[in-house]
Structure 1
């Protein structure tokens, strides 16, 4: 068993099958299949159930995922550490981020990092909920995670770097039900149509809490696609509760950004594994937390 085989194994896991994994690796599928068969023979156990064109991990395969990610990440760390002797010139930082936080503060972090290290690249992996972010960091899919939660982020197995709070705001169409500058209270939201994210998100929890308190709100659209919310607002389908991270983009698009009272917040944090980071990830973390 070697690291290359583990990289191939993880590519099949992450891409959901041999065809897509082979394309992602720029490798002929027969070569990938042979490498996986060799790995299975070395381990003495099947790693995948082949089902049509797809695959499902066996129990042995599931047990291998985290050790494989750790082994691959350790090799990346060794290579990056050697390369850092002559300075950070090339490399990649893998970051798991929730959608709103990927708008801001992540875009600002990436901007500062890229200006200082133009030869480095950043890979941003989408995660819809805080627990998905922490799982991706735990398992080594990403070295860093950016998330927001209703309560301060706590995880005994990860380092948590607090980035403060983001306030919820109401995004509304310019010709919608609210005048510019309106401070929107729950009473003013009564009877309105709103666009909401899927259950489990902070913005959806805010809406659900208002409905649980007896407020008359109609969820006109429930969407998993955060990028669809602003266009729907601008077309007059409904208003949306988002964090202030969206303010600049919403205002540039012509939407109104209105204060909500009483104020409500999400706590934003960067998380990283407790063990050593690659030099690139460590530098990104330093730049991000220095502001």
Structure 2
């Protein structure tokens, strides 16, 4: 099995059509079909289902597609690392953060430090769900992520960076006692809440805490946009639940209450997610060290404060 066949196969799956893939690869369609047939013969598996609409991968095809992406990325990275050996780290490094976390507030510091130390590294920042991020790291589409730790997932490793209590965040004009700093979970269950979708670890933690004490969740709506969440809380039609660091990073002080949830306390973990077995590129390793430094500085600042 050679990498050219794998690259052809990935392009066919991505294009959804052998004809479109042939055009993108600048290869004659009969030659591309021949390469695909040779790959299927070698693996003794049917990899694609052909129809009038195009092609779809079989179960075996999906498995090969996942592995092929990793293999091709490693080959490209090996070539780049060898070419850049002895030179300053360079290239593109992809970092993702989970919504509703303080991680996005670290972006300016991370970008500034990377640009100062390694001007030839380009950092690509994105924001999406923890489960999706873990899968993207396993498949090699992301280098690393800062997410709410979901528990053990095969193929990635989590390094817990922060353990925080969860807080109810509400408009300062909400019907809450002035100067209050804590609120019971039972009281929280009576309040209309805006939370992310169930795929989000933060939502799962809240539901698990309520369920363990047979308390209902009064869900006002599912919101994945921080600007939209801010506007909803400004309108005082509901509250949300976040770790304090995220609340302080996302909402203006003085305009919102942040009350620690007690009886019982709910906690979450912010973790650094990296590949379990695949080595990071030289550029990604350099950025990872900077990311860890920035997180450590933030933690030391909180302890000092």
TM-score grouping bracket, smaller chain normalisation? 0.7 to 0.9
Per the alignment, do residues 57 and 253 of structure 1 end up closer, same or farther by CA in structure 2, a change over 3 Å counting?
Answer: farther
| Equivalent in 36, 40, 46 of residue 40 of structure 1 | 36
Aligned residues: 281
TM-score (norm 1): 0.76
1:87 alignment partner, SS class: coil
Q: 1:200-245 CA distances to partner (integer Å, 9 max, x unpaired)? A: 4233234324543244652111245555322322222310112334
Aligned 1:146-225 pairs, distance under 5 A: 146-149=146-149, 153-154=151-152, 157-178=155-176, 181-186=179-184, 187-209=186-208, 211-212=210-211, 213-215=213-215, 217-225=217-225
Per the alignment, do residues 175 and 33 of structure 1 end up closer, same or farther by CA in structure 2, a change over 3 Å counting?
Answer: farther
Does residue 268 of structure 1 match 2:264? no
Q: Is the 8 A contact 2:168 2:240 kept in 1?
A: yes
Taking only aligned residues, the RMSD between alpha carbons, in angstroms, comes to 3.7
The alpha-carbon deviation at position 122 of structure 1 amounts to 2.4
Per the alignment, do residues 180 and 217 of structure 1 end up closer, same or farther by CA in structure 2, a change over 3 Å counting?
Answer: farther
Q: Based on CA coordinates, which of the two structures has the bigger radius of gyration?
A: 2
Once residues 149 and 180 of structure 1 are traced to their aligned partners in structure 2, the CA distance between those partners, rounded to angstroms, is 33
Once residues 225 and 12 of structure 1 are traced to their aligned partners in structure 2, the CA distance between those partners, rounded to angstroms, is 34
Structure 1: segments with no counterpart, 5+ residues? none
Q: 1:233-284 CA distances to partner (integer Å, 9 max, x unpaired)? A: 2222310112334334433397414031324321122232334211011111
Once residues 121 and 216 of structure 2 are traced to their aligned partners in structure 1, the CA distance between those partners, rounded to angstroms, is 50
Once residues 41 and 216 of structure 1 are traced to their aligned partners in structure 2, the CA distance between those partners, rounded to angstroms, is 56
1:64 alignment partner, SS class: helix
Q: 1:93-149 CA distances to partner (integer Å, 9 max, x unpaired)? A: 13344223452556644443234323322234554234x433322232223233223
Per the alignment, do residues 190 and 73 of structure 1 end up closer, same or farther by CA in structure 2, a change over 3 Å counting?
Answer: closer
Once residues 217 and 55 of structure 1 are traced to their aligned partners in structure 2, the CA distance between those partners, rounded to angstroms, is 44
Per the alignment, do residues 249 and 8 of structure 1 end up closer, same or farther by CA in structure 2, a change over 3 Å counting?
Answer: farther
Per the alignment, do residues 172 and 118 of structure 1 end up closer, same or farther by CA in structure 2, a change over 3 Å counting?
Answer: farther
TM-score (norm 2): 0.73
Structure 2: segments with no counterpart, 5+ residues? 295-305
